[in-house]
Amino acid sequence: MYSSSILSLLFVCIFSLLILHGVSTGFEVGDGITKGWEVPALKHPKVYNDWAEKNRFKVNDTLHFKYKKDSVMVVTDSEYSKCGSPQPLFFANTGDTTFVLDRPGLFYFVSGVAGHCQRGQKMIVKVLDVESPPQQSGDDTAAPDTDKKSDASRNTNAIIGGFIILLIVVGLNIIGFLV
């Protein structure tokens, strides 16, 4: 009885911590299906939207794009349909881009390389709005230097995650000794 109430308390604490901190998830774009961000195979032109539909994205989750001689752009709905933008909301061509999904709603990703988007290198990501109401600040999509910040936040989350696991292990051991 005594130990099970300690256990319950421990879990309540852990879940409160998780909820308060809003642990974010890092996604590898095309994970397990493509070799990163590239022109899809002819027989599977919708590979990125299929991948995105299989995942649930929340605010502050990150997308990691790995690519060669290519680029990542975030564009508007209509630019997505046209596969082009004179002034993308976000642009990166470093080959390694971490993008923070910093608001709920839709993000439109396309390749900036001529012809690639037309061949299916594009993706719509829907970010769920569970914890906070939608923000009406449409155009403040991450600037290129947000990349570093997101890595930092992912590391923080990893540290907190590790700490929580440690807490569980230590907690279970203490309970083990008490019983």
Ligand X SMILES: *[C@@H]1O[C@H](CO)[C@@H](O)[C@H](O)[C@H]1NC(C)=O
Is residue 132 within the footprint of ligand X (CB under 6 A)? yes
Q: Is 138 in the site for ligand X (CB under 6 A)?
A: no
Distance, CA of 15 to CA of 7 (rounded, Å) = 12
Q: Which of 34, 60, 85, 98 binds ligand X (CB under 6 A)?
A: 60
Dihedrals phi, psi of 37, to nearest 5 degrees? -100, 105
Number of residues located near ligand X, criterion CB under 6 A: 6
What's the rounded Cα separation, in Å, for the pair 137 and 20? 24
Ramachandran angles phi, psi of 160, nearest 5°: -65, -40
Asked if 141 touches ligand X (CB under 6 A), the answer is no
Min. distance of Cβ 134 from ligand X in angstroms?
A: 11
Asked if residue 22 binds ligand X (CB under 6 A), the reply is: yes
Q: Please say which residue, 115 or 134, places its beta carbon nearer to ligand X.
A: 134
Rounded distance between C-alpha atoms, residue 26 and residue 15, angstroms: 20
- Contact between 101 and ligand X per CB under 6 A: no
Closest residue to ligand X using C-beta atoms: 22
Of 49, 99, 96, the residue nearest 88 (C-alpha): 99
Instruction: Report helix, strand or coil for 121.
Output: coil
Minimum CB separation of residue 153 from ligand X in Å reads: 6
> Using CB under 6 A, which of 81, 131, 140, 169 touches ligand X?
131
DSSP state of 163: H
Residues that bind ligand X (CB under 6 A): 22, 59-60, 131-132, 153
